[in-house]
Amino acid sequence: MTYPNDKIAPKTSEPHFVEPVKTENTTYRIERFTHRIPIDWFLIATGRIDAWHYEFFLENKSLFEDEVDRYSVKEVAFNYEREPVSDGTGKSFHIILNDSKGGEMKLYSRSHYLNWLLEYDEDSYEVVAMFPADDRNAILVTIQERLPHVPTEP
């Protein structure tokens, strides 16, 4: 599935960060892939940095250095308390960023954008975990194949 206007995700025309930084197997032999996504992508995708699209940002990073360098990741978490979107487009999550001036900023997104960005089929794979990277300038996103739903009998 593609984003409207043939984009991968908001303000993104092509896949990025597709090579996992870590691959592991779960107890049940399910492969998990962890990808590192810099906070600059989230800032652009949510419109906090006006760069038209992510590829423009990559070609002109020097124009945006002050904007990106002032943020660090404080927290990332799924929003389990929010109502699911009826179209089934992934889990809602938020990122809290600290800025160098002492403030905080909260960004909201949905996990299906991450599937598209990293080139995973959203019907077959799901985001199962997200954590701030050790250097706090990226998010580590873990994706695995969807497990089949096994209904319990009453």
List the chain domain ranges: 4-145
Structure tokens at 65: 């250095």
pTM over 0.75: yes
* pLDDT score recorded for residue 69: 84
Distances (CA, A) of 141 to 42, 56, 92, 133, 144: 12, 23, 14, 10, 10
Side chain identity, residue 40? D
From first to last of the 154 residues of the chain, give the pLDDT tens digit.
444 444 656 778 777 888 999 999 988 888 999 999 999 999 988 888 888 888 888 899 888 888 888 899 999 999 877 666 666 567 889 999 999 889 999 998 888 889 888 989 888 899 999 999 999 999 999 999 987 765 555 5
Instruction: Give the sheet arrangement for strand 71-78, strand by strand.
Output: 71-78, 92-99, 104-110
Residue 21: DSSP 8-state: S
Q: What percent of the chain has pLDDT over 70?
A: 84
Task: Return phi, psi of residue 106, to 5°.
Answer: -115, 125
